[in-house]
A and B are shown apart, each in its own frame.
Chain A
Amino acid sequence: MKYMRDTLVIFRRSMTLSIQNPIWIVISLIQPILYLVLFGPILLSIAQTPGFPPGDAWQVFVPGLLVQLGVFGAFFVGFGIIAEWRAGVVERMLVAPIHRTALLSGLVIRDIIIVIVQGLVMIGLSYLFGLRISLGTIVLSLLIIAFLAATFSYLSYAVALATKSEDALAPIINSLALPILLLSGILLPMSLAPRWLQIISDFNPVKHIVVALRASFRGEMFGFDIMLGLIIVMIIALMAAFVGNLAIKSLAR
Chain B
Amino acid sequence: MNTRILNQVNRSTPFAGQSEAIAMISSRGLSKTFKTRTSEVHAVRDVNFDVHKGEIVGFLGPNGAGKSVTMKMLSTLLEVSKGAASVVEFDLLSQQNEIRSRIGVVSQRGSTSDTAKAGDEIVWHAQLYGISPKEARRRGKELFKALDLEPQWEQKCESLSGGQRRRIDIAMGLIHRPQLVFMDEPTTGLDPQSRANLWDHIRKLRDKFGTTIFLTTHYMDEADALCDRILIIDKGSVVATGTPKQLKSQISADTIRLTVRTNEDAAKTGHVVDSLGWGKPEINGNLVRFQVDNGAKALPGLMKSLGEKEIDAIGVEVSSPTLDDVFLSLTGRTLRD
Residues of A within 8 A of B (CB): 5-6, 9-10, 12-13, 16-17, 20-21, 83-84, 86-89, 91-98, 251-253
B100 at the interface (CB under 8 A from A): yes
The 9 closest A-B CB pairs, nearest first, are A88-B109, A96-B128, A97-B100, A88-B110, A92-B111, A97-B101, A13-B124, A9-B127, A95-B105
A16 to B119, CA, bound (A): 13
Residues of B within 8 A of A (CB): 75-79, 97, 100-101, 103, 105, 107, 109-116, 120, 124-125, 127-130, 169, 172-173
Query: Are the CB atoms of A252 and B130 closer together than 8 Å?
Result: no
8 Å CB contact of B100 from A10, A12, A16, A96 = A96
16 A–B contacts from the bound complex (CB under 8 Å): A6-B128, A17-B116, A87-B109, A87-B110, A87-B112, A87-B114, A88-B169, A92-B107, A92-B125, A93-B128, A95-B75, A96-B100, A96-B125, A96-B129, A97-B97, A97-B101
A164 to B107, CA, bound (A): 18
Q: A9-B124, A95-B77, A97-B100 are in contact. Are A17 and B113 (CB under 8 A)?
A: yes
Query: Are the CB atoms of B77 and A87 closer together than 8 Å?
Result: no
A10 to B128, CA, bound (A): 8
8 Å CB contact of A17 from B115, B125, B127 = B115
Query: Are the CB atoms of B77 and A252 closer together than 8 Å?
Result: yes
12 further A-B contacts with Cβ under 8 Å, apart from A95-B107, A97-B101, are: A13-B116, A13-B120, A21-B115, A84-B113, A91-B77, A91-B105, A92-B125, A95-B105, A97-B100, A98-B128, A252-B79, A253-B79
- Please indicate the chain A residues that have their CB under 8 angstroms from the CB of B107 in the complex: 88, 91-92, 95
Query: Are the CB atoms of B77 and A94 closer together than 8 Å?
Result: yes
Closest to A86 in B: B109
A13 to B76, CA, bound (A): 23
8 Å CB contact of B115 from A9, A12, A20, A97 = A20
- Please indicate the chain B residues that have their CB under 8 angstroms from the CB of A6 in the complex: 128
A9 to B109, CA, bound (A): 22
Query: Are the CB atoms of B113 and A9 closer together than 8 Å?
Result: no
Query: Are the CB atoms of A83 and B114 closer together than 8 Å?
Result: yes
Closest to A249 in B: B79
Query: Are the CB atoms of A92 and B105 closer together than 8 Å?
Result: yes
A97 to B101, CA, bound (A): 5
- Please indicate the chain A residues that have their CB under 8 angstroms from the CB of B125 in the complex: 92-93, 96
- Please indicate the chain B residues that have their CB under 8 angstroms from the CB of A92 in the complex: 105, 107, 111, 125, 172-173
Q: A95-B100, A95-B105 are in contact. Are A87 and B113 (CB under 8 A)?
A: yes
A96 to B101, CA, bound (A): 6
Query: Are the CB atoms of B128 and A9 closer together than 8 Å?
Result: yes
8 Å CB contact of B112 from A21, A89, A96, A98 = A89
- Please indicate the chain B residues that have their CB under 8 angstroms from the CB of A9 in the complex: 124, 127-128
A22 CB to closest chain B CB, in angstroms? 12
B325 CB to closest chain A CB, in angstroms? 34
A245 CB to closest chain B CB, in angstroms? 16
Closest to B127 in A: A9
- Please indicate the chain A residues that have their CB under 8 angstroms from the CB of B100 in the complex: 95-97
Closest to B98 in A: A97
B208 CB to closest chain A CB, in angstroms? 24
- Please indicate the chain A residues that have their CB under 8 angstroms from the CB of B101 in the complex: 96-97
- Most chain B Cβ neighbours within 10 Å, of A10, A17, A21, A88: A88
- Please indicate the chain B residues that have their CB under 8 angstroms from the CB of A252 in the complex: 77-79
B137 CB to closest chain A CB, in angstroms? 15
- Please indicate the chain B residues that have their CB under 8 angstroms from the CB of A16 in the complex: 120
Closest to B117 in A: A20
- Please indicate the chain A residues that have their CB under 8 angstroms from the CB of B111 in the complex: 87-89, 91-92
- Please indicate the chain B residues that have their CB under 8 angstroms from the CB of A95 in the complex: 75-77, 100, 103, 105, 107
B180 CB to closest chain A CB, in angstroms? 12
- Please indicate the chain A residues that have their CB under 8 angstroms from the CB of B127 in the complex: 9
A77 CB to closest chain B CB, in angstroms? 15
- Please indicate the chain B residues that have their CB under 8 angstroms from the CB of A83 in the complex: 113-114
A240 to B120, CA, bound (A): 31
Closest to A85 in B: B109
- Please indicate the chain B residues that have their CB under 8 angstroms from the CB of A251 in the complex: 77
A252 to B172, CA, bound (A): 21
Closest to A253 in B: B79
A86 to B109, CA, bound (A): 7
Query: Are the CB atoms of A91 and B128 closer together than 8 Å?
Result: no
A23 to B2, CA, bound (A): 54
B309 CB to closest chain A CB, in angstroms? 64
- Please indicate the chain B residues that have their CB under 8 angstroms from the CB of A20 in the complex: 115
- Please indicate the chain B residues that have their CB under 8 angstroms from the CB of A88 in the complex: 107, 109-112, 169
- Please indicate the chain A residues that have their CB under 8 angstroms from the CB of B78 in the complex: 252-253
Closest to B124 in A: A13
A17 to B116, CA, bound (A): 6
A93 to B112, CA, bound (A): 10
- Please indicate the chain A residues that have their CB under 8 angstroms from the CB of B105 in the complex: 91-92, 95
Query: Are the CB atoms of A12 and B109 closer together than 8 Å?
Result: no
- Please indicate the chain A residues that have their CB under 8 angstroms from the CB of B103 in the complex: 95
- Please indicate the chain A residues that have their CB under 8 angstroms from the CB of B109 in the complex: 86-88, 91
- Please indicate the chain B residues that have their CB under 8 angstroms from the CB of A17 in the complex: 113, 115-116
8 Å CB contact of B129 from A84, A91, A97 = A97
- Please indicate the chain A residues that have their CB under 8 angstroms from the CB of B76 in the complex: 95
A96 to B111, CA, bound (A): 12
